[in-house]
Amino acid sequence: MIKAEIYITLKKTLADPQGLAIKHALDSLGYDTVNDVRTGKLITVELNLKDRKEAEKKIDDMCKKLLANPIIEDYKFQIKGEK
């Protein structure tokens, strides 16, 4: 079993209105050192696989095909544990 975390974020070139709203809220709470806030998604997956390389390839495929939309989003992932 391999566990992985997949992070999906809007491309840096795109405005993130949700991040901006959060920044405004932080500003109003007095956190005046916050320069920028951007949000994203965290997806965790467990794969019935043993081989790390194979798992990485599978996850990369999933991201390209479904989990991220390459027109507007970037993705990265990290293998978190193997059992």
Partner 1 sequence: MKFGVVVFPGSNCDQDCHYVIEEVLKKPVKYIWHKDTKLDGFDCLILPGGFSYGDYLRTGAIARFSPIMKSIIDFASKGKAVLGICNGFQILLEAGLLPGAMLRNKDIHFICKYVYVNTENNRTRFTSTYKKNQVLKIPIAHNEGNYYIDEKGFEELERNNQIIFRYCNRQGEINEESNPNGALDNIAGIMNKEGNVLGMMPHPERSSEPELGSTDGRLIFESIVNWLKEK
CA distance 13 to 9: 11
CA distance 38 to 72: 14
CA distance 45 to 53: 15
Give 17 or 81: the residue with its C-beta nearer to partner 1.
17
* DSSP helix/strand/coil, 8: strand
Q: Look up tokens 């990265």; give the residue.
A: 76
Binding mask 11-50 for partner 1 (x = CB under 8 A): ---xx-xx--x-----------------------------
**According to the binding rule CB under 8 A, does residue 78 interact with partner 1?**
no
**According to the binding rule CB under 8 A, does residue 71 interact with partner 1?**
yes
**According to the binding rule CB under 8 A, does residue 67 interact with partner 1?**
yes
Q: Tell me which residues touch partner 1 (CB under 8 A).
A: 10, 14-15, 17-18, 21, 66-67, 69, 71-72
